[in-house]
Structure 1
Amino acid sequence: MNKEKNIDLLNGKPEDKRAEIKEALLTVFELEDNLFKTLKREESLFLSADVLRHPLIFYYGHTAAFYVNKLVLAGLLKERINPNIEAISAVGVDEMSWDDLNQAHYEWESVAKVSQFREKVKAKVLELISELPLEMPIDCNSPWWIILMSIEHQRIHIETTSVLIRQLPIDEVCDSSFFPACKEYGDAPKNEMINILGGSITIGKEKKSRYFGWDNEYGIHKADIPNLKVSKYLVSNQEFLEFVEAGGYKENHYWTDEGWGWRSYSQAEYPLFWVKKEGEWYQRNLTEEIPMPWSWPVEVNYLEAKAFCNWKSDVTGKSYRMPSEDEWYQIRSISEIG
């Protein structure tokens, strides 16, 4: 897999920066193209991997449509490339609303047309990268901000689309050398609580920041964090199995009201990417199911994590909870994570 790097907006020569942005654009399109190549057949793009999300064909067109819609809005693109795709692929689904998606309202374009659209958009943005005047530093008032924002938006969707592909039936996907799986796993080490020294943390971005940021990243937040006790390791699949086997998904008193509402709606009995076959546990990765990697961190949502903490508090007689964002930054600042 290609490694992506953040683009320095404050330092560097304009022509070098132009080349950097071109490379970033080509890299992100290549990565996304290879992600969709993990699908075995075109029909897979019209499947809804998650009932709360559009079919994958939407996301295949969405990231390219974002470039066009933002460039048109900024006056940098005078003519649209495919108005229908740019309209139908413009708006996603509100993940906080569990019933707002009506598939009957959509008539999707063919895979071939969306693929052609993506290529035309890439070519047009490459043309702009070659021709737009570029002055350093780059800030939110620069026309280059639109291109950088679109690249970052595409990176986000590569991650979220990979989760949707992971939710498709396993026979809808094929192996890809572009996304090699980790082969290191075994029994989980014993987890224990360790002391973490408190301190002062500062998070957020100044207006003149070195790297691109979304609007919710700006502004400065400071906090003083007291000494903490935290688990030495992230909660593993093996540790979380105890909660599953204890019937944690069936006991509503471990869940918040929101959490129990989600569990009742989803009918979850264990984490999303756990698979049980012939009495054995497996984990669904992007394109394969592997014997459960018990030492890997468990992949759950926040509601499941809170329920696990409540269960662990109940069975041990000690108080466990999720760390706050401020606490997480303090933990990261003095650990090997960062």
Structure 2
Amino acid sequence: MSTQQALREPPRTATQSAAASSDAGSLPLLNLASGREAVLDYFENTWALTEQLFSSLATDEAYYVRPYHKTRHPLVFYYAHPVCFYVNKMLVSGLIDKPVNQEFELLFETGVDEMNWDDLHDGEQDVWPELDQVRQYRDAVYELVRQVIRTHPSLDKPITMASSAWSLAMGFEHERIHLETSSVLIRELPLEYVKEPDVWPDWLTAPAVQNYEPVEGADYPTNELLEVAPTRVSLGKPNGWPTFGWDNEYGQDHREVNSFQASKFLISNGEYFRFVRAGGYEQRRYWSESGWGWRQFRNVKWPTFWVQDGPAGSHRYKLRTTFSEIPMQWSWPAVVNYYEAKAYCAWLTEQDEAKMPYRLLQESEHLAIRDPALSAAIDFEPGAAEQIDLDCVMAPSSAPTINHNLRYGSEGAVDALHANERGFHDTFGNVWQWCEDPFHPLPEFKIHPYYTDFSTPCFDGEHQMILGGSFISTGDEASIWSRFHFRPHFFQHAGFRVVLDTGVEGKKGDKYDTDELVNQYLLFHYGSLAEQQDEALATRIEFPAVVNLIDRTVELMNQFAPRRIKALDLGCAVGRSTFELARTFDSVVGLDYSDAFIDAAEHLRQRRSLAYKRWDTGTHYTALKASIDEEIDRERIGFVQGDAANLAGAPMVQNDEQYDAILLSNLMCRLSAPVQCLQQFNESDRYLKSGGILVISSPNTWMAQYTDPARFLDGADSDETLAALGECLPGFELLHEEDLPFTIREHRRKYEYIIAQVSVWRKL
């Protein structure tokens, strides 16, 4: 039997395997305008791939073994779940009018999306039917789908989102998602339950011999950071693109990307081994709160697919692949979860003594490191074949540099395939790449009526984006439009590359970091009214009536916050508002762009006082001291340097629990990307929980030296300016607005008189 026949004709029983071939793989992603026969071919290929994967289960018992983590169903569920999905979605769309087996279509309808790493499912496990019954059900549904494809009139014309046949395409891509997730569950099974399938693609790179002491440059490639210039990227699959897409792929967004550096290769096992051997899994300081909880709960000491091959402490490992255990492949990408990737970034920051923290890619940055030609796909016009061919999964023969769509049978060396035009390897394929972004909708997002809860339950700030696909990502998953997500403790064939901000670092010195400005802000924050005004002048003139900006904004935070558990102070400067918030909030993080400001605030947190100088005039200064009230619990406070428009790059802010209240004081008109800053709170609940508040104080001094005029959030008057702010916060309601006059002293005869526009917004 030929390979293509093997992949079109599904085995009728578990003992009938497909014909052996080293070239087995997936068909290109289905062009929905290709006609009935192409649809049938794609369905049969999809079905056969599932059968081929499950033929790796060595015994019937393997179908019923619980995963070691107990957060997923046994594999028998995933053998039947995609099948019942076909039936249920064809019923919803009207392609059929009655169920096949209503009991099965209820039992196998819903999988598990555990809320946390300890959300174990220890319920009854004897609910699963016998395997022969499941196989009979699969046979019946297989014949039904074939009949619908061959006879239903909806396939007489191209399939679109409005077509009832869209439910068929949805079923194909849903099954292909579970092809991949089931392969991870098989990778987690004890080897006694697994065997090599009769038909499976070859390795990308043949496994190297065992070596317990990897050498950089020999056993794994030397990685380097490549510079990416500032750019603008566009997201969103065109509605007329002739393939199936999940609801979250559609919409339109345009994002500005600051300059950054990203690793040329995915982080390899060899690089990650340095973190493991250095005791990274035992050091609390590298892990987020939730990540450390997961690590302790699972007692994890190395990546889950590394297999100990020696006594404790020897750091001798083998590698578990989907179907076998092989010598450790140091040049292959490290397959880890989000928590592990972030811990590695924190460790690497410390090792390199980096001025800016290493982090993961953002979605917009993933677009920025792709081949430049792909950007033309966003302007797709129906019938433009050359644009369709930009998506390599639709013509895989043109994609020799991508390990996806089951071209190969596993992940492989990070330098095995050629770099793209920008110099990056594996921007698509090999393994998925964890991103800093929580899963979120694009503007103009719309739910499709055939599957109303595919994406929306995961817009909760608890699911991290993964991009690029893996070796076993096929169909839509391997497309340039795919946007997928998993909880941070979840394992997928996923790795990561590291990123350093350069746009932020390059601006700091000339913008903020001067002793004069630090002294000025220490006086503004901590000086008494008498210290801020000149005593002699105060007896001769009347200073303008002002309000203490910090006291008033903190008062508004306390007044409107739904609860006083966690607060975030963006643009905290030298920190007094952060300290004052700690009187009433259990935990407060202060963030500022300036290293010098954060150094001063952290000094005060640790030592409670800091000497500074007030400039009087010329060469005359007065020595003063900033002090923190003893009643303030400084252990509640953390300070971090970072960009308020890029909170994903600030590790301390990533503490896995949303904030109740966020203060943005005199910040907005000093940001290069003010809209991007606000979108972080509007597009997901990752930072600000529903019902939480934003307190925004701004003098609205918009200047081209800080912000591109095209990005100004201003208007002809105060009402228009407030309206511009509101347009950036569509998921919020305005609770309060006021004008707040205050002064900042430069010297005894020069003061800056400012009237800030203050507004309070509640997230709906």
Q: TM-score, normalised by structure 2?
A: 0.42
- Pairing partner for 2:70 from 51, 57, 73: 51
Alignment check: 8 A CA contact 2:207 2:327 kept: no
Instruction: State how far apart, in whole Å, the 1-side matches of 2:126 and 2:183 are.
Output: 22
Asked if residue 167 in structure 1 is aligned to residue 206 in structure 2, the reply is no
State the shift of 1:119 in Å. 1.1
Residue pairs, 1:1-338, within 5 angstroms: 1-9=24-32, 11-12=33-34, 17-49=35-67, 50-97=69-116, 98-99=118-119, 101-104=121-124, 107-133=127-153, 134-179=155-200, 180-184=202-206, 187-278=219-310, 280-318=316-354, 319-334=357-372, 336=420, 337=427
Alignment check: 8 A CA contact 1:72 1:78 kept: yes
Alignment check: 8 A CA contact 2:36 2:149 kept: yes
Instruction: State how far apart, in whole Å, the 2-side matches of 1:205 and 1:159 are.
Output: 23
Q: Summarize the Cα distance change of 1:4–1:265 in structure 2 as closer, same or farther, 3 Å threshold.
A: farther
Alignment check: 8 A CA contact 1:185 1:296 kept: no
Instruction: State how far apart, in whole Å, the 2-side matches of 1:84 and 1:100 are.
Output: 25
Q: SS at the partner of 2:308?
A: strand
State the shift of 1:78 in Å. 2.0
Q: SS at the partner of 1:44?
A: helix
State the shift of 1:175 in Å. 1.3
State the shift of 1:199 in Å. 1.9
Letter of the 1:264 counterpart: Q
Alignment check: 8 A CA contact 1:63 1:150 kept: yes
Q: Summarize the Cα distance change of 1:106–1:216 in structure 2 as closer, same or farther, 3 Å threshold.
A: farther
Structure number with the higher helix fraction is 1
Letter of the 2:131 counterpart: V
Alignment check: 8 A CA contact 1:282 1:289 kept: yes
Q: Summarize the Cα distance change of 1:76–1:143 in structure 2 as closer, same or farther, 3 Å threshold.
A: same
Residues 31-60 of structure 1, C-alpha deviation per residue, up to 9 Å, x if partnerless?
101111101100110001241000111001
Structure number with the higher strand fraction is 2
State the shift of 1:79 in Å. 2.3
> Which consecutive residues of structure 2, in runs of 5 or more, have no partner in the other structure?
1-23, 209-218, 373-418, 421-426, 429-764
Q: SS at the partner of 1:332?
A: coil
Structure showing greater relative contact order (alpha-carbon pairs closer than 8 Å, 6 or more residues apart):
1
Instruction: State how far apart, in whole Å, the 1-side matches of 2:353 and 2:96 are.
Output: 62
Aligned residues: 333
Residues 189-236 of structure 1, C-alpha deviation per residue, up to 9 Å, x if partnerless?
111222123322111123222221111111011112222211121110
Instruction: State how far apart, in whole Å, the 1-side matches of 2:334 and 2:109 are.
Output: 33
State the shift of 1:185 in Å. 5.1
Instruction: State how far apart, in whole Å, the 1-side matches of 2:125 and 2:307 are.
Output: 33
Q: SS at the partner of 1:328?
A: helix
Q: Which moved more, 1:155-164 or 1:73-82?
A: 73-82
State the shift of 1:249 in Å. 1.1
Alignment check: 8 A CA contact 1:63 1:154 kept: yes
State the shift of 1:176 in Å. 1.8
Alignment check: 8 A CA contact 2:196 2:324 kept: yes
Alignment check: 8 A CA contact 2:317 2:328 kept: yes
Paired-residue identity, %: 36
Letter of the 2:135 counterpart: S
Instruction: State how far apart, in whole Å, the 2-side matches of 1:29 and 1:195 are.
Output: 43
Letter of the 2:136 counterpart: Q
Q: TM-score, normalised by structure 1?
A: 0.94
Alignment check: 8 A CA contact 1:195 1:230 kept: yes
State the shift of 1:74 in Å. 2.2
State the shift of 1:99 in Å. 1.6
State the shift of 1:63 in Å. 0.5
Letter of the 1:314 counterpart: E
Alignment check: 8 A CA contact 1:93 1:100 kept: no
Q: Which structure has the bigger radius of gyration? A: 2
Instruction: State how far apart, in whole Å, the 1-side matches of 2:62 and 2:188 are.
Output: 12
Instruction: State how far apart, in whole Å, the 2-side matches of 1:150 and 1:74 are.
Output: 12
Letter of the 1:169 counterpart: P
RMSD: 1.7
Letter of the 1:80 counterpart: P
Alignment check: 8 A CA contact 1:185 1:294 kept: no
> Which consecutive residues of structure 1, in runs of 5 or more, have no partner in the other structure?
none
Instruction: State how far apart, in whole Å, the 2-side matches of 1:42 and 1:103 are.
Output: 21
Instruction: State how far apart, in whole Å, the 1-side matches of 2:227 and 2:94 are.
Output: 54
Alignment check: 8 A CA contact 1:88 1:106 kept: no
State the shift of 1:106 in Å. 5.3
State the shift of 1:100 in Å. 5.4
**Paired residue for 2:683?**
none
Instruction: State how far apart, in whole Å, the 1-side matches of 2:274 and 2:280 are.
Output: 9
Q: Which moved more, 1:95-104 or 1:191-200?
A: 95-104
State the shift of 1:181 in Å. 3.4
State the shift of 1:260 in Å. 1.4
Q: Summarize the Cα distance change of 1:2–1:185 in structure 2 as closer, same or farther, 3 Å threshold.
A: closer
Q: Which moved more, 1:182-191 or 1:115-124?
A: 182-191
Letter of the 1:91 counterpart: T
State the shift of 1:5 in Å. 1.5
Letter of the 1:316 counterpart: D
Alignment check: 8 A CA contact 1:94 1:100 kept: no
Q: SS at the partner of 1:201?
A: strand
Q: Which moved more, 1:297-306 or 1:254-263?
A: 254-263
